[in-house]
């Protein structure tokens, strides 16, 4: 996760929420981000902080789902694929992320600037081995099909690529996500707004899931959600262990499904980061699947009681900034 700077604001307006919204309040956004980091930690997750740039206000950096992906399986020295993003104001993020990841986390990185792809915005992990990858066609289209094809085999053993309608949706995580009982991860519930998919893509997905379930002995149930439920970001709610962290406004029906899975639900007020900025808990996090405990840069791990300033002070010299 990467916190907003004290002067954070909405800049690119590259999604349906931020497109015409009033300006955000940075101090409130920092409070919301802190509450999310605390909630993840209290639910049993670990948050590695990617400090903001000390000199440049990279306003989109807080939405780290699009930052990149770890190569799978994870090497002894983790390798991180940096995204090549679509919005012009987000393109400079890759250089700063590479600086932090290589210098402070001691991971390796790679970057390609031929095909647009926005990482976990459009790569949904069913588990460590299988992914559903999405690319949009329409006004808010971001990730390209070629970008996904370029890296697909490096980040999962099995995958399917699906086309969706990129208006109002702009990433796959705005209309699809997977949830499961923490003690039964082989049985999954896939939240899906079917109307987001292009013609014929739902049938392809359904057949692929059936095939995968037969091969691996898993069970995947598709739970259809409405367009309205997806635009309230039901699928941008983050599961951490047996907890789901959701923005306010999620339908009672969706909450009941999570409860039926034995999941505890925490709702957070994300009025600045989500209602204005357009990113909820999933968008604000980059999942680091397969990372071993000894590969985690302990100096950058968030603790309940930490402050954003603690991590800003770790990167204090502009002379070392790219």
What pLDDT, in 10s, does the model give residues 17-55? 444 456 789 999 999 999 999 999 999 999 999 999 999
**Could you give the number of structural domains in the chain?**
1
- Provide CB contacts within 8 A for 16, sequence distance 6+: 140, 167, 168, 170, 231, 278
179 in a structural domain: yes
61 in a structural domain: yes
Nearest alpha-carbon partner for 41 in 250, 241, 312: 241
241 in a structural domain: yes
If DSSP codes are grouped into helix, strand and coil, which group holds residue 94? helix
Residue 128's pLDDT band, with cuts at 50, 70 and 90, is confident
The pTM score is 0.93
**pLDDT of the residue at 276:** 78
pLDDT (tens digit per residue) in 195-242 = 999 999 999 999 999 999 999 999 999 999 999 999 999 999 999 999
129 in a structural domain: yes
134 in a structural domain: yes
11 in a structural domain: no
Residue 116's pLDDT band, with cuts at 50, 70 and 90, is very high
User: Strands 79-82, 68-70: parallel, antiparallel or unpaired by DSSP?
Assistant: antiparallel
pLDDT (tens digit per residue) in 157-183 = 999 999 999 999 999 999 999 999 989
Strand partners, 266: 245
**How far apart, in Å, are the Cα atoms of 125 and each of 63, 188, 201, 263, 294?**
18, 12, 18, 19, 23
Average pLDDT over residues 7-13: 72
Q: What is the CATH number of the domain that holds 171?
A: 3.75.10.20
Q: Which domain holds residue 100?
A: 26-316
5 in a structural domain: no
């Amino acid at each position: 996760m990467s916190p907003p700077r004290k002067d954070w604001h909405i800049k690119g307006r590259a999604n349906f929420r931020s497109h015409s919204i009033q300006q955000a309040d940075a101090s409130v956004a920092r409070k919301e981000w802190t509450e999310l980091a605390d909630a993840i930690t209290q639910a049993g997750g670990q948050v590695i902080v990617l400090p903001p740039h000390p000199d440049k206000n990279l306003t989109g950096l807080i939405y780290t789902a699009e930052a990149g992906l770890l190569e799978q399986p994870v090497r002894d020295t983790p390798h991180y694929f940096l995204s090549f993003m679509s919005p012009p104001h987000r393109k400079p993020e890759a250089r700063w992320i590479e600086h932090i990841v290589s210098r402070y986390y001691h991971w390796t990185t790679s970057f390609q600037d031929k095909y647009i792809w926005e990482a976990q915005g459009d790569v949904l992990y069913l588990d460590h081995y299988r992914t559903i990858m999405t690319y949009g066609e329409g006004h808010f289209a971001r990730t390209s099909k070629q970008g996904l094809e370029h890296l697909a085999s490096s980040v999962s053993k099995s995958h399917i690529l699906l086309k969706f309608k990129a208006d109002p949706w702009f990433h796959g995580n705005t209309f699809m996500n997977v949830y499961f009982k923490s003690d039964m991860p082989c049985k999954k519930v896939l939240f899906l707004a079917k109307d987001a998919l292009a013609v014929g893509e739902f049938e392809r997905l359904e057949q692929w899931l059936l095939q995968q379930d037969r091969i691996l002995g898993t069970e995947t149930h598709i739970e259809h959600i409405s367009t309205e439920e997806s635009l309230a970001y039901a699928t941008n709610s983050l599961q951490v262990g047996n907890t789901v962290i959701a923005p306010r406004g999620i339908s009672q029906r969706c909450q009941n499904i999570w409860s039926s899975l034995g999941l505890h639900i925490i709702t957070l007020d994300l009025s600045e980061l989500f209602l204005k900025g357009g990113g909820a808990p999933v968008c604000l996090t980059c999942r680091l699947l397969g990372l071993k405990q000894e590969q985690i840069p302990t100096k950058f791990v968030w603790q309940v009681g930490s402050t954003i300033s603690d991590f800003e002070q770790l990167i204090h010299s502009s002379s070392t900034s790219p």
